[in-house]
A and B are shown apart, each in its own frame.
Chain A
Amino acid sequence: MTEIMFWEAVRRAHDEELAHDKMVIVMGEDVGVVGGTYKATLGLYDKYGQERIIDTPISENGYTGLGIGASFLGVRPIIEIMSVNFAWLAMDQLFNTAAKVRYMSGGQLEAPIVVRSPGGIAHQLGSQHSARMEKVFMGIAGLRVVTPSNPRQAYGMLKSAVRCNDPVFINEHELMYNMKGEVPEEEYFHPLEGSEVARQGRDVTLFGYNISVHWCLEAAELLSKNHGVEAEVIDLFTLSPLDREGIRNSVTKTHRAVIVEEAEPAVGVGAEVMAILNEECFFELDTAPVRVSALNVPIPYNHAMEKTALPDANDVVEAVRRMFGV
C-alpha cells in the first residue's frame, strides 16, 4: 500500500487503462494540454497523444453523444465533465441514448462509456457551480452510478468502469481531489456494486456516500467519545443499484438508521434508503429512520449561508442525539 492523493489515484487508473487498451480514450474540456481541471489526466496528453486524450469544445451534449457513438464501434471513452452542473446539458445523450440503447435495440448495441464528474459543493462557487445530481442519475434504468469516498475506490472503480460494458457515471467531489489515502501498489479493480462497512458499530447505522462518509466517520468518533454511542458507518459507494443486502444487514444489527447526504432531501439517496428499509427490514427498526440533508435551497454564495445550507458532522451528531435522547 502507498498513500497517494485522490487525483493521483484517478490519474493512475487512466494511465493504466490507456496503456492496457488502445481503444480507451479520454474526452473532455481541458483534459489534454492542461491535464484536467483537477489534474486527473496530467501528463497523459504527452504520453498518448491528441487522438486519444481529446480536448473537446465546450459542447457537453455533443461530446458525450460522440463518445457514445464511438463506443458502438468498440471505443472505450472516459468522458470527464468538468463540473456536474454542466452534465445537465448532456442528460439527453446520457439518458435517452446511453441508458436505453441496449434495451431498445433488443441487446444489439451497448454504450460502454464512463462519465466522471465532480458532483459536490466546493467553496463559494455559487448556485450554478454547486449542483448535486446523483439523485437524478440513480433514477435512470440502464445506467450504473458509483461514487468513491477515497483514493482506493476512485482508482479501482474507474478501472472496473472502463472495462464494464454498461454506461457508468462516477460521481466525484471537488473538495476530495487532494485527500490522501492508501491505494494498493498492485493493479486493483473495485466492484461497481455493493457497499462497505467503513466503521463497525452496534447502536446505530450512519449511511453515507462520497464526502458524507467522512462526516459520518467524524460524527461516529464524536458520538463514541462524548455520548457512548457506537455508530456503524456504511459507505454506499454504489448509488445504482443500491446495495439492499448491505443496508438490511447493518440495520438488522443496529436497528437504527441515519442517512447523510450533501443533496437536498427530496427524491434523494436518503429517501431511497428509507424506502429500502421499509421494504427490507421494517420490523428490525426500533425507531423511525432520519435523513440529514442539505436545505432545500440553491447554494448561496455567502460563506456563512453556504455552510448553513449544507450538513456536517455536527448535524449528524445532533440527529443521533435526538434519536437516543442523549
Chain B
Amino acid sequence: MKIDTKKRLLREMLFARRFEERCYEAYVERNIGGFLHLYPGEEACAHGVLEAADADRDYVITSYRDHIHAIKWGADPRKVMAELYAKETGVSKGRGGSMHIFDVRNRFMGGYALVGGPFPLAAGIAKGIQMRGGDEISICFLGDAANNQGTFHESLNMAKLWNLPVLYVCENNHYGIGTRIDRSTAVVDQYKRVSGYDIPSHQEDGQDVELVYKAAMKAIRHVRSGKGPYFLELMTYRYRGHSMSDSNAYRAKAEERMWSKRDPVIMLRDRLIDEGNMTADDFKDMDTEILDYIENEVIAFAEQSPEPHISEVERYVLAENDPWVRGGGAP
C-alpha cells in the first residue's frame, strides 16, 4: 500500500474515531436522541473494505451501526451529524436518525435496524445490477450475530443460486448485543458457516487495515469478475457497548485490555512512525486538525441547522401525486 494511501486511511480512521466519540458526548448532552450504536474499535473494517471498492459505482448497505460506512462512502459528515441532531439538513432529513443514515446519491443504500434485514436487500441490489448488465457490486456489512437470522441463510442460498454480485462482509465483534458469540452460536468461525452454500469465504484480522484491504481486493475481484458472491469475515472488537443504553458489564476487563492493544488507529499510526513516514507530532497535529474540524464545522453545522417543518410530518409516507393511483397514468 502506498504511503500516501496509508496516511489518508489513518486520517480517515482517526476522523471516524473522533466523530463517534463526539457523538457520544452529544448523546450525553442530549443533542442526539434514540438509540446510538458507535463504531470505535472497528474502523479498519469499513475503511479497509471500502478502500478496495469503487466509490464511483459500487453499492453499500449496512445495519444500524452505520455512520462511518456512510461517511467513508461519500456522505458529508456534517449532514450525518445533522441527521443525528434530527435536523432538516440531515442526510435523511431528520426522519431517519442514527440507525437510518441514507445517502442514495452516493449509493449508500441505508442503515437498517432489524438485525439481518439487509442480507436480502443486498442480494436484491445485486439482482438489479445484474439486470442492468453493469459490473458494479453490492457490498453488505453486518455483524456476526446477524448470521443467526434466517435471512442470512435465505440470502446466501439465493445469492449463490443466481450468481449475484454481492460481497457479504461480516464484522465479527464477538458479541450479539450482550451475548458472547460462543454462547449464541454453535460454530463461532463465521466463514465456515457459508461453506454449506458453496460460497468462497475468508477470515481476516479486522484490526489491521492493510490486511483488510488486501483481503477485500481479492474478494471484490472475485465478485466483480462475475463469479458470484463472496463472504469476508473480519475479526474485530467494539470498544463501547452495543448501544448507548448498554452498560457493557458483560465483558471481562482483561479481554478489553487485550483488544485495546490491537487498536486499528494506533497500529497504523505506530507503523507509519516506525517506517519513518510520520512523527508523533505529525499525528498530534492531525488529531488537533480533526478535532477542530469536528467542532467548528460538523457540530456547528448540526447545531445551526433548522429542524424539519412539523407541517411536513406526513410527507414521504407514499409517493406524491403518483398518476397510477388514479389508474390514469396514460395521457
Contacts and interface: CB of A to CB of B under 8 A. Distances in A.
A172 interface: no
Interface string A58-93: 010111111111111111000000000000000011
A165 B322 contact: yes
Interface in B258-280: none
Given A65-B120, A106-B96, A70 B158 contact: no
A144 B324 CA distance: 12
Interface residues of A, number: 53
A263 to B, nearest CB: 24
Interface in B278-331: 315-319, 322, 324-330
A22 to B, nearest CB: 8
B325 A109 contact: no
A61 B153 CA distance: 11
A61 B330 CA distance: 34
A141 interface: yes
Interface stretch (B13-21, B102-110, B200-208): B102-110
Given A142-B317, A160-B325, A75 B128 contact: yes
Nearest to A108: B104
A69 B327 contact: no
Contact of B154 (A62, A97, A104, A106): A62
Given A57-B157, A59-B157, A160-B329, A70 B124 contact: yes
A156 interface: yes
B112 interface: yes
Contacts of B110: 101, 104-105, 109
B95 interface: yes
A56 interface: yes
B224 interface: no
Contacts of B322: 164-166
A165 B104 CA distance: 17
A102 B100 CA distance: 11
A312 B140 CA distance: 50
Interface stretch (B1-9, B85-93, B249-257): B85-93
A283 interface: no
A66 B326 contact: no
A163 B59 CA distance: 25
Nearest to A92: B114
B74 interface: no
A187 B328 CA distance: 12
Contacts of B150: 59, 61-62
B324 A163 contact: yes
Interface string A144-184: 10000000000010001101111000000000000000000
A189 B327 contact: yes
Contacts of B103: 108
A69 B330 contact: no
A193 B325 contact: yes
A193 B326 contact: yes
Given A61-B154, A103-B317, A97 B327 contact: no
A106 B109 contact: no
Contact of A64 (B120, B125, B138, B161): B120
Interface string A175-214: 0000000000001011111000000000000000000000
A144 B319 CA distance: 11
Contacts of B151: 61-62, 65
A25 interface: yes
A65 B119 contact: yes
A37 interface: no
Contacts, number: 185
B158 A68 contact: no
A18 to B, nearest CB: 13
Contact of A108 (B59, B92, B127, B138): B92
Contacts of B97: 104
Interface in B130-165: 130-132, 138, 150-151, 154-155, 157-158, 161-162
Contacts of B36: none
- From A67, A106, A187, name the one whose CB has the most chain B CB atoms within 10 angstroms: A106
B155 to A, nearest CB: 6
A193 to B, nearest CB: 5
Given A57-B158, A69-B123, A103-B317, A51 B324 contact: no
Given A107-B93, A156-B327, A189-B327, A69 B121 contact: yes
Given A106-B91, A189-B324, A66 B318 contact: no
B122 interface: yes
Contact of A105 (B102, B124, B161, B329): B102
22 contacts: A22-B131, A62-B119, A62-B150, A65-B117, A65-B119, A66-B121, A66-B155, A67-B124, A69-B124, A70-B128, A71-B124, A73-B59, A73-B128, A93-B117, A106-B95, A106-B102, A107-B93, A108-B102, A109-B104, A189-B328, A191-B325, A192-B327
Interface of B: 59, 61, 90-97, 100, 102-105, 109-110, 112-114, 117, 119-132, 138, 150-151, 154-155, 157-158, 161-162, 315-319, 322, 324-330
The 3 closest A-B pairs by CB, nearest first: A69-B124, A62-B154, A65-B120
Given A23-B131, A62-B154, A68-B124, 18 more contacts: A22-B131, A56-B158, A61-B154, A63-B120, A69-B121, A69-B128, A71-B128, A93-B117, A96-B113, A104-B97, A104-B100, A105-B102, A108-B102, A144-B318, A144-B325, A160-B324, A160-B329, A189-B328
